[in-house]
Structure 1
Amino acid sequence: MNNEYIQVIHSLLMKYEHKDDAVKMKKYMRNQFEFFGLRAPQRKELVKFLIKKYGMPPEEHFNEIVYELWELPERDYQSIALELMDRKIKHFKEKDVELLEYLIIHKSWWDTVDWIASKHIGAYFVQYPQNKKDITRKWIGSGNIWLQRTAIIFQLKYKKQTDEELLYSYINQCLGSEEFFIDKAIGWSLREYSKTNPQSVRNFVDKTPLSKLSKREALKVMKKNKCVFLKN
Structure 2
Amino acid sequence: MTAVTETAAQLRAALAEVADPADAFQLQRFFKTGPGEYGAGDVFIGVRVPVTRSIAKRFATLPLTEIDALLDSPVHEHRLAALVILNGRFAAASKPRTFDDKARAAMVELYLAAVRRGRVNNWDLVDVSAENIIGPWLLDKPRDLLFELADAESLWERRVALLSSFAFIKAGDATTTFELSERLFADRRDLIQKALGWMLREVGKRIDEQLLTDFLDKHAPEMGRTALSYATERLAPAQRVAYRAAR
SS at match of 2:74: coil
Report what 2:244 is aligned to. Answer: none
SS at match of 1:64: helix
Q: What amino acid maps onto 2:110 in structure 1?
A: L
RMSD: 2.4
Report what 2:131 is aligned to. Answer: 118
Please, which runs of 5 or more residues in structure 2 have no aligned partner? 34-40, 94-102, 241-247
Contact 1:38 1:76 in 2 (8 A): yes
Please, which runs of 5 or more residues in structure 1 have no aligned partner? 228-232
Q: What amino acid maps onto 1:113 in structure 2?
A: V
Report what 1:16 is aligned to. Answer: 18
Q: What amino acid maps onto 2:80 in structure 1?
A: S
Q: What amino acid maps onto 2:129 in structure 1?
A: I
What per-residue deviation string (whole Å, max 9, x for no partner) do you get for residues 70-115 of structure 1? 1222111001101211211231522432222123231311111111
Report what 1:202 is aligned to. Answer: 213
Distance 1:79 1:169, change over 3 A: same
What is the TM-score when the length of structure 1 is the normalising length?
Answer: 0.82
Distance 1:160 1:35, change over 3 A: closer
Contact 2:52 2:81 in 1 (8 A): yes
Report what 2:191 is aligned to. Answer: 181
What per-residue deviation string (whole Å, max 9, x for no partner) do you get for residues 169-206 of structure 1? 22111121222222112101101111121111111112
The 5-angstrom pairing of residues 202-221 of structure 1 reads: 202-208=213-219, 209-221=222-234
The 5-angstrom pairing of residues 1-232 of structure 1 reads: 5-31=7-33, 32-48=41-57, 50-51=58-59, 56-57=61-62, 62-90=63-91, 91=93, 92-105=103-116, 106-107=118-119, 108-126=121-139, 129-130=140-141, 132-159=142-169, 161-195=171-205, 196-208=207-219, 209-223=222-236
1:162 CA displacement: 4.0
The separation in 2 between residues aligned to 1:86 and 1:185, in whole angstroms, is 20
The separation in 1 between residues aligned to 2:197 and 2:146, in whole angstroms, is 18
**Paired residue total:** 214
Distance 1:64 1:149, change over 3 A: same
Contact 2:135 2:164 in 1 (8 A): yes
Q: What amino acid maps onto 1:123 in structure 2?
A: P
1:146 CA displacement: 2.0
The separation in 2 between residues aligned to 1:180 and 1:8, in whole angstroms, is 37
Share of identical aligned residues, percent? 20
What is the TM-score when the length of structure 2 is the normalising length?
Answer: 0.77
* Runs ≥4 residues deviating over 3 A: 157-160
Q: What amino acid maps onto 1:156 in structure 2?
A: F
The separation in 2 between residues aligned to 1:186 and 1:179, in whole angstroms, is 11
